Amino acid sequence: MSIVNVLNKKTTDLNISGDKHKKHLQVIQKTYQNNIESDYTEKIEALGKNFDYSTNSNHFWGDRQLSTLYGSPLYEQASHAQKLALNHLYWVGQYQHTASAEANTMLYNQITSGVFAHVGGYETLCQELDFETTQERHHINTFHKIGYKTKIALLGKESFGNSLHKKLNHQTQNNLLQKFRELHNKESIQDFTFRFLTKLMHQGKENYYSEYLKQKSNSIPTATGGLAGVTASPSVFKYLSLNWGSSPFLAAQYYSARMVANMSLKTYEYHYYKHFRELEKKGEFIPTPIAVSYYHLLDESFHTTMSQTIAQEVYKDFPKPTTYEKLLSNVIILLLQRGLLSGLSAALPATFRDDVNFIPSYYRLLTSPLFNQMHQQDALHWMKKCLCEEHEGFYVNLKYHQSLLNDLRRFFDRLEYLWPVNRKMRLMAEGGSIEKAIKRNQIAFKQFVTSVTA
C-alpha cells in the first residue's frame, strides 16, 4: 500500500465517529462557547492598567500562608509591614512564573493546533486554542504590570539587579558568551539533526506536520522560561517542539504536560479565588491582585478543561502510539517530575523545587530596603536558619505538596501508555521529604556562601 493510501486510511480512521468520540467533542464545543461568553480578559486587563500599589499596600493579598518565608524564623520576627510585603512579593513571584508558563502555552497551543487542523474534525478545538492564546497574552501583560509596580515600590529599581547580581554575572560572563558562540555555530547542525530525527521517527505522518512549524522553517521555536525553564534546556524543547508538531498522538500528549502547569497554578490560585469570595460576601475592600487571581482562575478553568479533555480523551481518537511515541511521552513526564515537582521549598509555599535556584533572590531580598539592607553576615545567618533548618514553613508546603500529588495521580492514572513511575508520580512523591530538602539546601547554601565571600 502506498504512503498516500496509508495516510488516507489513517485520516479516515481518525474521523470515525462514535458515542465516546461525540461526547468529548461536545465537551470541547461547550467549553469554547462558555469561554467566549464569560471571557474576563478585558476585566483583567483593566485591573492591571489601573493598578496602584499604594491603594493596595495595606492589605494582605490572600492567605498569610501564601507569603515568601512564611513559617520561617525570620518571618516570625518580621514586622507587620514586612509581612505585608512578603505576602505581596509572593504573589508577584508566583505570577511572574505563571506569565512565563503562559508564554509557553501560547507557543505550544499554536504548534499543536497546526497538527489538529490537518487531522480534520477538530475545528472547534483549534478555535479554542487560538482564543486561549489571545487570552494568555493579556494575562501576561497584567501580571508584569502589577509585578513591576510592586517590586519598584517595595524594593526599588535595585531589585532588578544589584552589586551581587553584577558580581555573579561578571564571574560567568565570559563563559556564557563563549558558550553562546559555540551554540550559535552548532545551531544549524543541531536543527538539521533534530529535523532529521523527527522525520525519521514519524515516517508516514508528514501530512500532519504543523502549519505553524512550516511558517517557522528558518528556525525551530523553543520555550525558555516557566514550566519549560525548570524542566529541560531550550535545545531539548526545540526537539519537543518538532515532535509535538509532527504527530496527532504527541500533539494530544502535550496537554498532559500542560495539565501539570494548570494544576500547579490551581494549588495556590484557588486560595485567592476563595479569599475574593469571602471579601465580596462581607462587602470588604478587595485588593486588585486578588481580583486578578479570581478572574484569571475563571478564564483558566476552561483551559484546564481543555487540557484534561485532550490529554485523557482526544488522544484515543488517533492510532495507538508507536514505541517511540510512548517512550518520548514518558520521558517528558519524568522530566517534569524531576524539574518541577521533586523538591520542597523552605521559603516559597506551593513550590515543589529545592531552593538552589532561589538563593540569590533571597539574598537580594534580605539586603534590600525591606530588611534595612542587612549586612552580608546577618543576611547569610538568617538564610541559613530559614533554608537549612527545620521550621513550620516546610510543613505548610508539605501539605500543598501532598494535595497536588493526589490530584496529579488521579489525572495520570487514566493514561495507560505511561509507565508506573509516571502514573503514580513516584519522583514527586520521593521529593516530598523535609529531610532531603534541608540536606540539598545545605549543600547549595555552602556553595552560595563561597561565591559571595570569595
Q: Please, are residues 66 and 349 in contact by the beta-carbon 8 Å criterion? A: yes
Q: Please, are residues 90 and 67 in contact by the beta-carbon 8 Å criterion? A: yes
Give the integer Cα–Cα distance in Å for 89 and 41. Answer: 23
Q: Mean pLDDT in the chain? A: 90
Band the pLDDT of 22: cuts 50, 70, 90: confident
Model pLDDT, residue 168: 43
Amino acid (1-letter code) at residue 17: S
Spatial CA neighbour of 209 closest among 193, 218, 219, 198: 198
DSSP string, 273-294: HHHHHHHHHHT----HHHHHHH
| Domain ranges across the chain | 3-453
Q: At what angle do helices 248-282 and 392-412 cross, to 10 degrees?
A: 130
Rg (CA), the chain: 23
- The angle at the Cα of 351, spanning 363 to 167, to the nearest 5 degrees, equals 25
Model pLDDT, residue 188: 80
Handedness of CA 171, 156, 267, 412 (dihedral sign): negative
Handedness of CA 22, 27, 28, 33 (dihedral sign): positive
Question: How many DSSP H helices and E strands does the chain contain?
Answer: 20, 0
B/e letters for 387-407, b = 16+ CB within 10 Å, e = fewer, are bbeebebbebbbebbeebbeb
Which DSSP symbol is given to 304? H
Segment 22-37 shows an average pLDDT of: 95
pTM: 0.90
Name 336's Cβ contacts closer than 8 Å, sequence gap at least 6: 227, 231, 257, 260
Give the integer Cα–Cα distance in Å for 73 and 345. Answer: 15
Segment 278-300 shows an average pLDDT of: 97
Q: Please, are residues 332 and 326 in contact by the beta-carbon 8 Å criterion? A: no
- The angle at the Cα of 343, spanning 270 to 329, to the nearest 5 degrees, equals 80
State which H helix or E strand residue 441 sits in: helix 434-453
Give the three cell numbers for residue 282.
462581607
Model pLDDT, residue 10: 40
Q: Please, are residues 389 and 355 in contact by the beta-carbon 8 Å criterion? A: no
Name 380's Cβ contacts closer than 8 Å, sequence gap at least 6: 363, 449, 452
Model pLDDT, residue 6: 31
Name 136's Cβ contacts closer than 8 Å, sequence gap at least 6: 102, 103, 105, 106
pLDDT at 27 over 50: yes
pLDDT tens string 364-375: 999 999 999 999
pLDDT at 267 over 80: yes
pLDDT at 203 over 90: yes
Segment 38-62 shows an average pLDDT of: 96
pLDDT at 389 over 90: yes
| Range scoring the smallest mean pLDDT among 70-84, 109-123, 209-223, 242-256 | 209-223
pLDDT tens string 207-218: 999 999 999 888
Model pLDDT, residue 265: 96
Percent of the chain having pLDDT more than 70? 89
Q: Please, are residues 418 and 329 in contact by the beta-carbon 8 Å criterion? A: yes
Q: At what angle do helices 234-244 and 80-119 cross, to 10 degrees?
A: 40
pLDDT tens string 412-432: 999 999 999 999 999 999 999
Band the pLDDT of 170: cuts 50, 70, 90: very low
- CA-CA-CA-CA dihedral for 17, 18, 20, 26, to nearest 10: 50
pLDDT at 181 over 80: no
pLDDT at 2 over 60: no
Burial class (CB in 10 A: 0-12, 13-18, 19+), 1: exposed
Band the pLDDT of 437: cuts 50, 70, 90: very high
Model pLDDT, residue 178: 54
Give the three cell numbers for residue 169.
554575572
pLDDT at 162 over 60: no
Segment 145-173 shows an average pLDDT of: 70
Between residues 109 and 174, the one the model is more confident about: 109
Q: Please, are residues 365 and 68 in contact by the beta-carbon 8 Å criterion? A: yes
Between residues 288 and 159, the one the model is more confident about: 288
pLDDT at 182 over 80: no
Q: Please, are residues 114 and 210 in contact by the beta-carbon 8 Å criterion? A: yes
- The angle at the Cα of 363, spanning 361 to 366, to the nearest 5 degrees, equals 110
Q: What φ, ψ does residue 202 adopt, rounded to 5°?
A: -125, 40
Give the three cell numbers for residue 346.
523552605
CA 48 → CA 145, 191, 372, distances in Å?
6, 39, 29
DSSP string, 106-153: HHHHHHHHHHHHHHSS-HHHHHHHHHHHHHHHHHHHHHHHHHHHHHHH
pLDDT tens string 222-265: 998 888 888 999 999 999 999 999 999 999 999 999 999 999 99
pLDDT at 269 over 90: yes
Q: Please, are residues 310 and 317 in contact by the beta-carbon 8 Å criterion? A: no
Between residues 411 and 160, the one the model is more confident about: 411
| Range scoring the smallest mean pLDDT among 92-96, 333-337, 353-357 | 353-357
